[in-house]
Amino acid sequence: MLTERMEEALNQQVNAEMYSSYLYLSMSAYFESINLKGFANWMKVQAQEELLHAMKIYDFINERGGRVKLTAIDAPPTEWDSPLAAFEAVYEHECKVSGLINDLVNLALEEKDHASHIFLQWFVTEQVEEEASADEIVQKLKLMGDARGGLFMLDRELGQRSFTMPTSSE
């Protein structure tokens, strides 16, 4: 059984993951609008992953006998100044999400909720990856500066990313 505080905090995280999905889908649309299809693909896959994060928490709340309560999702921005600005925003956003996950872990400890504590470990590990992959692309974009050739090569690379439905152990 979840405590009231834990249930509320997990519900808030469902909303945060939904917002992340919405944000990345908005970035995907931005990249489509400037004809960077590979970047758009990367963002669309990222949006799908975020939806999966939300569903993981949604299922966990139900499994623990809690009550899922969906709330309004904020509208994301729709424009960015450049591919670099968009990826800097991704990195910044992921750092913020890592903070939210850390807060949830602290709350689980406070509430002596070991099941939630174990469940959240997956998210702690995932956030390390999420921050690293966003930062890697930020660094590449910084390195290439205004070189158009580099941008098209990176677009091709990001176009390779595909969404894979994880198995239950992932």
Interface with ligand FEO (CB under 6 A): 17, 20, 50, 53, 94, 97, 130
Distance of closest approach, residue 149 Cβ to ligand FEO, in angstroms: 30
Listed in sequence order, the DSSP H helices in 64-147 are 83-110, 114-144
**Nearest 10 degrees: CA dihedral of 72, 73, 74, 75?**
-120
Nearer residue to ligand FEO within complex by CB, 4 or 170: 170
Class of residue 13 by CB neighbours under 10 A (exposed 0-12, middle 13-18, buried 19+): buried
Distance of closest approach, residue 137 Cβ to ligand FEO, in angstroms: 14
Distance of closest approach, residue 107 Cβ to ligand FEO, in angstroms: 17
Nearer residue to ligand FEO within complex by CB, 96 or 142: 96
- Secondary structure tally for the chain: helices H, strands E: 5, 0
Q: Which residue is nearest to ligand FEO (CB)?
A: 53
Distance of closest approach, residue 74 Cβ to ligand FEO, in angstroms: 16
- Tell me the CB-side half-sphere exposure of residue 139, using CA atoms within 13 A: 6
Nearer residue to ligand FEO within complex by CB, 104 or 141: 104
Residues 62 and 18: their CA atoms lie apart, in Å, by: 17
Nearer residue to ligand FEO within complex by CB, 24 or 151: 24
